[in-house]
Chains A and B, each alone.
Chain A
Amino acid sequence: MTIPAGTVLVVDDESLNRLLLTRSLEQEGLRVQSASNGLEALDMLRSRPFDLVLLDIVMPLADGFDVLAAMKADPTLTHVPVIVISAVDDMESVVRGIEMGAEDYLPKPFDRSLLRARINAGLAKKRLLDLQREYLEQVGRVVDAAIAMEAGRFEPELLEPVSRRTDALGQMARVFTRMARHVQEREDRLKEQVRELSIEIDHTRSARRAAEVTETEYFQNLERRVDELRIAADQ
């Protein structure tokens, strides 16, 4: 089984362990960086993206639990899967690590097959989470676009990343952008059409048409009786 490509951070204070893990993972086609203590690990995690962390528990400065707690408290790191490294007989640490949010554990000494299986599962989960996060972020962009549209400040660039998707959300973004463009074009045309109202009256013809009414016997009778016919406002 092939491990999904990704970047792994190996955190262990023992240089031999770091070397073994690094080599094994690199042989699986992964990019690997390592840290020898918890503080260094957190610095690295905050300065560049990682897809998975292999985290030893017992370390100087900040131990594995400190790193785990800091990661789960940090919204930018909480989604990065962590596999804790522990001695076979230290199940108490494993349980605590998992309770604190670690995905899995890897017993020492390392078994290559087990390492591959756990890394594989961790990276697959990370990839799924990334897709989910990206999807939700892009749904948010569509919602923002609708709000901007209503406020008359929609810019088609807002939806460009979503429009590149090949799924239904991408299609919705493309349709939305196209409709928004049509609305904008229509509004632009209307703005161009705003013009001063022109009222042209042929006064000679108007007078003739009025005379056709006012010269009738019926009208002249009404005109004579208008004071008697008019309903007074104070009646």
Chain B
Amino acid sequence: MAILIAVHSFRGGTGKSNTTANVAALLAADGKRVGVVDTDIQSPGIHILFGLDQDTMGQSLNHYLWGQCTMVDAAHDVTPGTAAAAGGKVWLVPSSIRAHDIARVMREGYDVGVLNEGVRSLIQTLSLDVLLLDTHPGLVEETLLSIAMCNSLAIVLRPDQQDFEGTHVTLTVARRLKVPRITLVVNNTPAGYDAEEVRAKVATTYGCEVAAVLPHSDDLLELGSAGILAVRQPDHALTGLYRQVAAALLASG
């Protein structure tokens, strides 16, 4: 039973990649075999959280889409130590950060069927329990494809008016594409809001499950892109909330 989860947000900077990386690390720490594909081809970044060296990265999603390698060849083992001890694994298929690679994908596009086949082969070859797609923000073509493929969609939003309306648009589109389960993650909530009230209000407004309401965290800000909070600080309160997100996403699969 492989669960394909697309983690999406209408705008950039909502904490989508951090959410994806933390959920992946926590699922692997539970002994799961987890894949992560950075489908944010236009502005890749999740590889930094997993400590993958940009210069020696090697094969990427771009190379697969151009027929230069298999999807499995582009999957890098980035299993954190905590996950390895539990028998879990994390493989990351990064997107190329080279400017001409990004420009080429933007210019030429890629075949929808090829990405779909790559995702299927990754799940089967690596016997994945979960595959997470870190999507490009907004509703560009590759994002729509990720939403069409996934059987579970997590939409990360910040509690501000721009995101509220953008999330409404995303939900309308996702529902047209008949995504079986959709979950909302409210991130970077300023101090002063009651988390349970926010959860209830958002759930009622969108008619959608809210996996967690994550507060603004100075610790996460301080960590920046230097690592994954759930790996660095497994007992941190925010890690506990990421654990809720992971559980909700698995349940929704």
Q: Which residues of A contact B (CB under 8 A)?
A: 190-191, 193-197, 199-203, 205-207, 209-210, 213-214, 218-219, 221-223, 225-226, 229-235
Contact = CB atoms under 8 A, between A and B. Distances in A.
Given A190-B192, A199-B164, A233 B151 contact: yes
B201 A199 contact: yes
A141 B159 CA distance: 43
A28 to B, nearest CB: 63
A210 B147 CA distance: 14
A203 B173 CA distance: 14
Which 10 pairs between the two chains have the least Cβ-Cβ distance?
A210-B172, A193-B192, A231-B4, A206-B168, A209-B169, A222-B148, A210-B169, A233-B151, A213-B139, A190-B192
The SS class assigned to the B binding surface is helix
B149 A229 contact: yes
B128 to A, nearest CB: 11
Contact of B144 (A202, A213, A233, A235): A213
B177 to A, nearest CB: 5
Please classify how large the interface on chain B is, using the bins under 10, 10 to 19, 20 to 34, 35 or more.
Answer: 35 or more
B151 A201 contact: no
Interface string B113-131: 0001001100110000001
Interface of B: 1-4, 112, 116, 119-120, 123-124, 131, 139, 141, 144-145, 148-151, 159, 161, 164-165, 168-169, 172-173, 176-178, 180, 191-194, 197-198, 201-202, 205, 253
A226 B148 CA distance: 6
Given A223-B176, A235-B123, A229 B112 contact: yes
Given A222-B112, A222-B144, A233 B165 contact: no
Given A213-B144, A222-B177, A200 B161 contact: yes
A230 to B, nearest CB: 6
Nearest to B176: A214
A235 B193 contact: no
Contacts of A214: 172-173, 176
A184 B145 CA distance: 50
B201 A197 contact: yes
A203 B171 CA distance: 12
Contact of A233 (B2, B164, B197, B202): B2
A230 B119 CA distance: 10
11 contacts: A190-B192, A199-B205, A201-B164, A201-B165, A207-B172, A214-B176, A219-B144, A219-B176, A222-B177, A223-B177, A225-B112
Nearest to B139: A213
Contacts of A221: 112
Contacts of B123: 231, 235
A202 to B, nearest CB: 6
